[in-house]
């Protein structure tokens, strides 16, 4: 019997809302690096489904999901923060870290920005102690813009 599970990356769909909320709650309990602006307990699957639909049609926002079989195991987002700038967020469940998923997710965001988005710049904030993430961002062309005692702000401009 083969125990291999196919891992994939795809855009979030409205019917992913419930599973996505469950994964986000799990990520909050697993990671000191994962933070959300929203209190997840106050978000319904129906409202999250509507949000996914709106974001998918914007051209300036994106939610990508990493999957193992039918299970959601990671997420990468771009949220528009100005006319030409989007902020990146990435998280992978602990059991699936170290497999290159974070790199693949960020690479897919960059491909989307270059070929499908109106955004000219991607920015992100990363905690200084999150060395694996910092390594990924540098490897994919993000440059440090500023820092505080605990975080680094990074940026990557479109290659168009």
Residuewise pLDDT in 10s, the chain (160 residues):
456 678 899 999 999 999 999 999 899 888 766 666 567 778 889 999 999 999 888 889 999 999 998 999 999 999 999 999 999 999 999 999 988 999 999 999 999 999 999 899 999 999 999 999 999 999 999 999 999 999 999 999 986 5
DSSP-assigned beta bridge partners for residue 90: 76
d(CA 77, CA 89): 5
Determine the straight-line distance between the first and last CA of the chain, rounded to whole angstroms.
47
Question: 98: phi > 0 → left, psi -120 to 50 → alpha, else beta; which?
Answer: left
Q: Identify which of 42, 46, 48 has the alpha carbon closest to the alpha carbon of residue 77.
A: 48
Supply the pTM of this predicted model.
0.89
């Amino acid at each position: 019997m083969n125990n291999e599970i196919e891992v994939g990356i795809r855009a979030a769909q409205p019917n992913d809302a419930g599973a996505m909320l469950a994964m986000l709650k799990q990520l909050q309990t697993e990671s000191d690096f994962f933070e959300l602006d929203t209190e997840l307990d106050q978000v319904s699957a129906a409202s999250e489904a509507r949000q996914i639909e709106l974001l998918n049609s914007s051209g300036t926002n994106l939610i990508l999901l990493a999957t193992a079989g039918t299970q959601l195991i990671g997420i990468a987002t771009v949220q528009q923060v100005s006319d030409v700038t989007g902020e990146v967020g990435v998280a992978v469940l602990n059991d699936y870290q170290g497999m290159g998923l974070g790199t693949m997710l960020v690479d897919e965001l960059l491909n989307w920005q270059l070929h499908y988005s109106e955004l000219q710049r991607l920015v992100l904030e990363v905690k200084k102690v999150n060395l694996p993430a910092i390594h990924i961002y540098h490897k994919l062309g993000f440059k440090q813009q500023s820092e505080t005692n605990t975080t680094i702000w990074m940026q990557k401009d479109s290659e168009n």
